[in-house]
Amino acid sequence: MTRFEGYAALVTGAGQGIGAAVAHRLAAEGARVLVTDRDAARAGSVAAAVRDGGGSAEAHGCDVTDAAAVRAAVARAQEAFGGLDVLVNNAYSCHRDPDRFEEWEEAPWYEDFEVTLHGAARCARAALPLLARSGGRGAIVNVGSVNAEQHFGDHAYSAAKAGLASLTRTLAVESAPRGVRVNLVEPGTVRTDVWRDRAAMLEQARAHYPLGRVGEPEDIAAAVAFLASRDAAWVTGVSLPVDGGLLVSNLAMNRTMAR
C-alpha cells in the first residue's frame, strides 16, 4: 500500500516501542517520516532502520516538554520535507503509583502531565499551521490509553491520557474547518520494552483479553495509519480502543461467577 505517498509525517517518542512501529508503518506506506525522540541516538537508530527497509526517514532529537525544541522539530520537518501532513503524538511519561495517593510527590505527578498531555498540546500548536496547508489531508493522531476509560492504576498517567482524549475532541472541532482531522487510539497492554523485566506479569495480563493475547506495537501502528490516512477522511474526534476487547469485557468477573 502507498496511502502516504507524498506525505510528510512527524512522530514523537519514536525511538522505540509503539512510536518506532508507527514510523516504520507510515514509511512502509510511502511517507517521509521525521523520527523524533528525547533520546536523539534512539531516534537515529530507528530512522536508520527505516531507511534500511527501503523507507524515507530522518531523525531529530526532541523533548516535548521544551516548546522551543518542539518548534525546532516542526521547522526541521518543513525544511526536510517541504511541509507536514501528519503528526503522531506518541511521547508519554508514566510513573508508578505510590502505596497511597497522598504519597504522590509533585515532580513525578507533573512530569506525566508535561510529557503526555502538555507535550501533545505543544506539538499540535506548533504543527497546525503546516497541517492546515496540506490540502485537506492534515491529520493529528494522538496515542492515548485504555487507562483513560477505566481504572487500571497509574493515577497521573491515566488522568493525563483522559485529558488527551478530551483535547482530541475539542481540537477536532476547532481544526475541522481548516481541513485537519484529530483522532486518538487507546491501546491496551502492548508488548514493548517497558515489559522487558516483567514477562510473567505480561503473561498474566494476556488472560484478561478476549482475543487471547496482549497487543504488539504493530497493532497500534496499523490503527494509527488508518486514522492518519484518507481512508478515515470522514472520521474526526474519535477515541478508538485497540485493546483486544478489554474494555467491553470483564473476564475476571465472568470466570469468578462461573465457578
Residue 245 belongs to domain spanning: 8-257
Q: For residue 253, what pLDDT is reported?
A: 58
Higher per-residue confidence, 106 vs 134: 134
pTM of the model: 0.95
Whether residue 186 is contained in a domain is answered as yes
C-alpha to C-alpha distance for 73 and 13, rounded to whole angstroms: 12
Domain harbouring 78, CATH code: 3.40.50.720
Q: For residue 114, what pLDDT is reported?
A: 97
User: Per-residue pLDDT tens for 89-121?
Assistant: 999 998 887 878 887 888 888 999 999 999 999
Q: For residue 217, what pLDDT is reported?
A: 98
CB neighbour class for 249 (10 Å; exposed up to 12, middle 13-18, buried from 19): middle
Whether residue 180 is contained in a domain is answered as yes
Domain count of the fold of the chain: 1
In which band, very low, low, confident or very high, does the pLDDT at 147 lie, cut at 50, 70 and 90?
A: very high
Whether residue 1 is contained in a domain is answered as no
86: CB partners within 8 A, 6+ apart? 4, 7, 8, 9, 10, 26, 31, 131, 138, 139, 140, 141, 228
Active site includes 209? no
Whether residue 113 is contained in a domain is answered as yes
Write down the catalytic residue from 7, 92, 157, 209. 157
Whether residue 128 is contained in a domain is answered as yes
Whether residue 3 is contained in a domain is answered as no
What is the pLDDT averaged over residues 65-86? 98
Q: For residue 98, what pLDDT is reported?
A: 81
Helices 17-28 and 40-52 cross at an angle (nearest 10°) of 30
User: Per-residue pLDDT tens for 161-212?
Assistant: 999 999 999 999 999 999 999 999 999 999 998 888 788 888 888 989 999 9
Residue 203: CB atoms within 10 Å: 11
Q: For residue 259, what pLDDT is reported?
A: 59
C-alpha to C-alpha distance for 86 and 194, rounded to whole angstroms: 26
130: CB partners within 8 A, 6+ apart? 74, 77, 78, 83, 84, 138
